[in-house]
Structure 1
Amino acid sequence: MKHKRFFSGRWHWPLACILLLTACSKDDVKPANPYVKTGIAAVVNNNFSLSLLNYALASTSFDDTLSSPGPYTLLGPSNAAFQAAGFSSGADIIRGRDSINAMIPYNILRGQFRLDSLPLAFNQPLYALNGQAVYVTHWINSRDTAVVVNGVRVTALDKPAANGLVNITGGILAPIAYTNIQQAVSGDPALSLFNAAIIKSGLAATYQSGGPYTVFAPVNAAFFAIGITTTDSIYHMDPVVLQRIVKAHIAGGRNFIYDYILKADPDTNAYTEKMLGGDNAIITLVLDFTQPGRFSDINIQQEGAGSIATLTRKNILAGNGVVHSISGILTQ
């Protein structure tokens, strides 16, 4: 009995305190985040072909985002995609951190989407972390099966991570910078004469709303070639004539260049596009000499006309369409 009284009287409270402190310390320890080792950021970190993307995620702290529950779908530009955009090293990424910081959330989708399980359709909108739409084409024809986002081909699809999926893309997706196609045209100094034609024709308000539209905008040199050399020359032209010129270069619908590659007849490598002015434009595919059997660009000409225009810039995305710059005028 004395032994029991000694134990309970002398040792009961210290032992209880030790047990209480142990319980408190266990409660205070935060559970490990499982996504740090198995999430999207970890998958990127372990993929050598995404080392520049990994650097970009770390330098903008989006690696923390992609180590959280999500789910997310990453459209991850390859090292070659970063290099083509002028980011060949970590130092380049640091110097361009502002643009990288704006770009990264446009390359991350909210939710988990198996891109190769989407319906066979062109330019299906999905929404990125920055709230803007990206446009996903999933298409099959007799020579190709492709998933393309904003005209950029996805080269590796749907690699699983604990908090979503990782895709590798052949280019960087740039966030939408223009509200409408007229604004996109006006934002390019090389298109100042075509922009003047849109304004003088009275069609600017039309292309600031509605749509979507696909614009094949002639560069200034194309106007020079037919004797129109200044915006003043444009402002002295008949608005009806200018409307015909403008509408000959705009089609309904949102079409990136790779969409035309997928839509073209596999036998003729050509596609006929109906322009808003009523004329047909014939689009022909240009071989990609770096990838046998693939196509990289298009040429375009008015049906029945001899002049062929080539691309000088492509896939400039606006809120209500896409703008491509071309080397020639499609109507005479």
Structure 2
Amino acid sequence: MKRNLLLASLLLFFSCKKDDNQPAATNRNNSLAYVITDNKFNFSFFNTALTVTNFGNTFFEKGPYTVLIPDNNAFQQSGYSTEKDVAVEKGSVLNNMVKYHTLNGIWQLDKLPFRFNQPITTVSGAQLFVTHWVRNQDTIITINGTRVTALNMPASNGLIQVINTVLNPLVQDKLSDAVAAEPTLTYFNVALQQAGMKDLLRGVGPYTIFAPNNSAFIAAGFPTTDSVANTDPAVLKALLQFHILANRRFVYDYALSTDASGQSQQTMLNNSNTTVNLINNGDNGITIQGSGNTQPCQLVKSNVLTNNGVLHIIDNVLMENF
């Protein structure tokens, strides 16, 4: 009798034990997948990406996961006018996108330390950078320099954080690669080579580059890339160091770190200062100016993320007064 009871108990144990090779069950009626699908007014573009890639099935699993969801307006600002535009996007692009917006585990971003650009690894293996800071008595959270607009929406298997921009997954590993891949930075890339600074931008960093585009170099007196290549390397090195900052700075970081004057100074690699001005209190970006510039330099492209820093492209060469 005892032997039969023991066998029955063992059979009951193994029949109830979870199969580790199967997705763990969760409450489907309150799962991340359900919450995302149910919020069609805000999340239908992201849900379309999940449907096309079949990645949405992941959010029925136990997880837990934290999903960073760009709202519909964010998708439209990123060039996807309708859900159909998302549906016809390349599968590889959407797959990279949804994985870059997904984190393993529960991430209550408002519980992070008050610090700039704290690295977090996504399920794709790539990093993103979270800032938790106080501005004008308001607590602000950004991811890769973009605002988090709604925090900690709960689901049975995780959390949703809503953001106002579609995050761009890393395309280039290093800043050196990002510069070389950008067709408007041919002159700047030649200058880096001539100055022997390519290895610096292949290093650990982090660095922030304000790179003048080709038109900026031409306006500064370099009519061709050959004219750059024929310039004294020491001269180019001094010039380039005035365009590089020894930390990671997204555009909105300046809005968080600048006082009511709307202006701040930052020390570049050559130990000289540039002036950063907020546009519309930082909500419309920044300009940057050297002591020798008569007008501020405008950003024509910003927040290009790599593993060792951030690249911004500007429309003029930063100049110093000597």
Give the TM-score, by structure 2 length.
0.89
Matched, 1:330 2:318: yes
Gaps of 5+ in 2: 1-11, 17-21
The 8 Å contact of residues 292 and 318 in structure 2, kept in 1 or not, is answered as no
Q: Structure 2 residue aligned with 1:104, among 98, 102, 108?
A: 98
- Number of paired residues? 300
Report deviation, 1:303: 3.6
- Equivalent residue runs for 1:161-200 within 5 Å: 161-200=155-194
In the other structure, the counterpart of 2:33 is 41
- Equivalent residue runs for 1:1-332 within 5 Å: 33-47=25-39, 48-96=41-89, 97-142=91-136, 144-265=138-259, 267-287=260-280, 295-303=283-291, 305-331=293-319
Report deviation, 1:70: 0.8
The 8 Å contact of residues 23 and 62 in structure 2, kept in 1 or not, is answered as no
Q: 1:196 to 1:143 in 2, by over 3 A?
A: farther
Give the TM-score, by structure 1 length.
0.86
Q: 1:309 to 1:294 in 2, by over 3 A?
A: closer
The 8 Å contact of residues 298 and 311 in structure 1, kept in 2 or not, is answered as yes
Letter in 1 for 2:54: S
Separation (CA, whole Å) in 2 of partners of 1:258 and 1:144: 15
Q: SS where residue 88 of structure 1 aligns?
A: coil
Gaps of 5+ in 1: 1-22, 288-292
Letter in 1 for 2:155: A
Post-superposition CA distance 1:122-174 (Å, at most 9, x none): 00111101011110001002254211000111111110111111011111111
Q: 1:294 to 1:249 in 2, by over 3 A?
A: closer
Report deviation, 1:33: 3.9
Q: Which has the larger radius of gyration?
A: 1
Q: Identity of counterpart residues, as a percentage? A: 38
Q: SS where residue 86 of structure 2 aligns?
A: helix
CA RMSD of aligned residues (A): 2.0
Q: SS where residue 276 of structure 1 aligns?
A: coil
The 8 Å contact of residues 35 and 68 in structure 1, kept in 2 or not, is answered as no
Separation (CA, whole Å) in 1 of partners of 2:294 and 2:115: 33
Separation (CA, whole Å) in 2 of partners of 1:235 and 1:207: 19
Separation (CA, whole Å) in 2 of partners of 1:88 and 1:207: 36
Q: SS where residue 196 of structure 1 aligns?
A: helix
Separation (CA, whole Å) in 2 of partners of 1:281 and 1:294: 17
Letter in 1 for 2:97: M
